[in-house]
């Protein structure tokens, strides 16, 4: 199952931009806003099963507004 298609993300609470679920280096998942750069904490994983759990936790953080904004964006 493709976790990227099954997880719903709300708009960014800071700028109403689009949230993007990302994997970093095969060890963690997080959500970031493609507009302003807000992001969740990185949620680590060690297996495919844990990857799905980490993705859901990152999405839960994002959807509840638990993000950080450092002022930097792409």
- pLDDT of amino acid 58: 98
Whole-model pTM: value is: 0.89
% the chain with pLDDT above 90: 85
Alpha-carbon 59 to chain mean position: 5
Calculate the alpha carbon distances from 24 to 8, 12, 33, 44, 46 in Å.
19, 20, 15, 9, 12
Mean pLDDT of all residues in 37-51: 96
Q: SS3 of 13, please?
A: coil
Task: At 25, list the tokens.
Answer: 């280096």
């Amino acid at each position: 199952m493709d976790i990227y298609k099954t997880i719903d993300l709300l708009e960014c609470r800071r700028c109403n931009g689009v949230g993007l679920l990302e994997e970093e280096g095969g060890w963690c998942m997080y959500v970031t806003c493609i507009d302003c750069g807000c992001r969740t904490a990185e949620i680590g994983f060690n297996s495919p099963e844990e990857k799905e759990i980490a993705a859901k936790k990152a999405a839960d953080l994002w959807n509840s507004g638990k993000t950080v904004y450092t002022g930097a964006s792409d």
